Structure 1
Amino acid sequence: MRDVFFVLSPHFMLLDLAGPAEVLQIAIEYGAPLRLHMVAAVPELVSSVGLSQHQLAPLPKPIPDGALVVLIGVQNSKDNLSLPAAQAIVSWLREHFDQRQNQLACICSGAMIAAQAGLLDGKHCTTHHELIARLRLAAPKALIEENRLFVEDGNIATSAGISAGIDLALHLVAREFGAMMAQNIARQMVVWLRRSGQDPQLSAWLLHRNHLHPVVHKAQDLLSQQGQNMKHRWTLAELAAAVHTTPRTLSRLFIQHTTLTPHDYQLSIRLALAQQLLANSALTIEEIAQEAGFGSARDFRRVWQQAHGKLPSDSRGHVLNPC
């Protein structure tokens, strides 16, 4: 069970807290082994919109191994982060945060707290665009990146303003518990799975999911489920029947919302699974092709070569220097 501590300061931004907290709470409902805590240096605080948060737990001392500490941004950070209840958090981080055992996520101006505690030195990071100049002054040794939704560097993750905290939380869920859980949470919250252009490319299971059409999502779920569904060679008519629409309508909706045909989308998923399997040198190309749902090793080689170039192997059909 992993502990997640949402650390609140005076006049904390309510959406900075509510967005990521809802993502992780829904993750718990999907089975993620997380335990959420609301903590602060004082037992009661008032949020940016005047809502009081009562019975806050004290800052944990020590911070449990493996815990995720989430620093929530505040309204008018220049003044409010100088208050005693905020500076107590800085002192607590300096004394108790273990870079080897703990993880840190900063939402919006929460990065300023981490900067004051010296946790961003040498780290790639970001924050709200209006705070970039102040963050440079607070953390001159940090590697600050502008115009990013979020940045992750080792055990430190930082996000831009407010709603970007949801993007960061979804990313953390995808990394720890899988892309399928993250996309299910995003759909339940009716938000897009977003990344900035400079972030690592989305995995095939997340790519082309930045839409809200339920029929297309249902079809994508069927095509991307590993196991027998992945091996099944869906026809357009069969897939359309499974999502209760016509082949013509499904094809039109799929292209409109993903820019791919259902066939091309399934190929991208199969290639992604094959790339994961290639890391297992014990598997032959024939075995990889079968597990990823290709009709034959020859079919797999042809599709792979079109996407990535020639796939080398030894005389036994084992992959050489995979991926």
Structure 2
Amino acid sequence: MNEVFFILTPNYLALDHAGPAEAMRIAIDEGARLRLHTVGPAAECVSSLGLVSHVAPLPEKLPKHALLVLVGTVDEDRDYSTAPAQQLVAWLAQSVRADTRIACICSGALLAAMAGLLNGRRCTTHHALTSKLAALAPGARVEQDRIFVEDGPIATSAGITAGIDLALWLIEQQAGAALAARVARRMVVYARRDGTAAQLSPFMAHRNHLNPALHKAQDLIAADPAQHWTLSNLAERVHISERHLCRLFRTHTASSVVAYRQALQIEVARDRLALGATVETAAEAAGFGSARTLRRVWKQIVGGTPAKR
């Protein structure tokens, strides 16, 4: 039986806790030999949503091969300067064993850094906090734009929902890929991302502008990347000239219509490959026309070659 301790601090992010915890609970329901505990330095913790959690004290001694899950918080500067958070940092520095595994969700990585647990290790966190993490753990290698990073017994994840991806990965390690896949299916997380995936999907990239015509063009492409979108029919659909549409793409995406669409096509193909499709089938689903074309564009955008994962 593997003991899993979810560690909460006051003002913790509700989804940072609930997402991974539900994944673990479903894993237990599916047959994983896990036992969950909710602990913390304060007997009562209020979450980001105002939910009150009554937690057990931090254990005086950790069992062998325990997994500690450090849950993120709303305001790191404020929340991690409180007495309970500082108590937790001191407890981590003193209590973690050589065989203890640690999983940090979002800003939970900052707690591990404050306890000196990340020195010499690769790690990540929410993209808005990577500079802060690097300052707290100058001996660590902070990796940008990663869903999660595992280095030895310590795994760190990006913001909020990425904790579910990390939890599924940990479940796979503890109970096997088949059981983890059943958990993902029950959670309707079919295309589980791995640690190499970027935090920002191409479907969400280059959308922080205010131009309605470009947003509409991007929406059309995103709704069906496999369709053969020509510059003329796309410009006609958004009621602007081809020249103006090209200018908008260059200004706000630093790419062309073709390059923007190809990035989304690659993401569609990547998802199909993750679900077990062949390169040929993935190419067809993404609208590349042939596996040869997919390989050529993949090499240009991603590097290397596509393969079933």
**Where do residues 157-172 of structure 1 align in structure 2 (5 Å cutoff)?**
157-172=155-170
Q: CA deviation at 1:174?
A: 1.4
What secondary structure sits across from 2:37 in the alignment? strand
**Where do residues 259-274 of structure 1 align in structure 2 (5 Å cutoff)?**
none
The Cα offsets for residues 19-41 of structure 1, whole Å up to 9 and x where unpaired, read as: 10011111101111100000011
Gaps of 5+ in 2: 199-269, 289-306
Q: CA deviation at 1:179?
A: 1.2
Q: CA deviation at 1:196?
A: 5.0
Letter aligned with residue 162 of structure 2: A
What secondary structure sits across from 1:147 in the alignment? coil
What secondary structure sits across from 2:17 in the alignment? helix
2:95 aligns with 96
Over the aligned positions, Cα root-mean-square deviation in angstroms equals 2.8
2-side partners of 1:175 and 1:4: how far apart? 14
1:303 aligns with none
Summarize the Cα distance change of 1:209–1:89 in structure 2 as closer, same or farther, 3 Å threshold.
farther
Q: Do structure 1's residue 145 and structure 2's residue 143 form an aligned pair?
A: yes
Q: Do structure 1's residue 39 and structure 2's residue 39 form an aligned pair?
A: yes
TM-score by length of structure 1 reads: 0.62
2:85 aligns with 86
The Cα offsets for residues 262-287 of structure 1, whole Å up to 9 and x where unpaired, read as: xxxxxxxxxxxxxxxxxxxxxxxxxx
**Where do residues 136-285 of structure 1 align in structure 2 (5 Å cutoff)?**
136-191=134-189, 192-197=191-196, 208=272, 256=285
Letter aligned with residue 87 of structure 2: A
The Cα offsets for residues 229-275 of structure 1, whole Å up to 9 and x where unpaired, read as: xxxxxxxxxxxxxxxxxxxxxx9999649x9xxxxxxxxxxxxxxxx
Say if 2:33 and 2:175, in contact at 8 Å, map to a contact too: no
1:119 aligns with 117
What secondary structure sits across from 1:37 in the alignment? strand
2-side partners of 1:66 and 1:9: how far apart? 23
2-side partners of 1:149 and 1:96: how far apart? 28
1-side partners of 2:196 and 2:136: how far apart? 27
Q: CA deviation at 1:208?
A: 4.1
Say if 2:147 and 2:196, in contact at 8 Å, map to a contact too: no
Summarize the Cα distance change of 1:50–1:67 in structure 2 as closer, same or farther, 3 Å threshold.
same
Summarize the Cα distance change of 1:197–1:97 in structure 2 as closer, same or farther, 3 Å threshold.
closer
2-side partners of 1:180 and 1:97: how far apart? 30
TM-score by length of structure 2 reads: 0.65
The Cα offsets for residues 54-108 of structure 1, whole Å up to 9 and x where unpaired, read as: 2x1100111111100000000011110111111111010011111x210000000
1:72 aligns with 71
Summarize the Cα distance change of 1:125–1:32 in structure 2 as closer, same or farther, 3 Å threshold.
same
Summarize the Cα distance change of 1:42–1:196 in structure 2 as closer, same or farther, 3 Å threshold.
closer
1:58 aligns with 57
1-side partners of 2:281 and 2:151: how far apart? 40
2-side partners of 1:32 and 1:44: how far apart? 29
Q: CA deviation at 1:173?
A: 1.1
Say if 1:106 and 1:157, in contact at 8 Å, map to a contact too: yes
What secondary structure sits across from 1:48 in the alignment? coil
Identity %: 48
Q: CA deviation at 1:113?
A: 0.3
2-side partners of 1:196 and 1:156: how far apart? 13
1-side partners of 2:154 and 2:89: how far apart? 16
2-side partners of 1:196 and 1:152: how far apart? 8
Say if 2:40 and 2:58, in contact at 8 Å, map to a contact too: yes
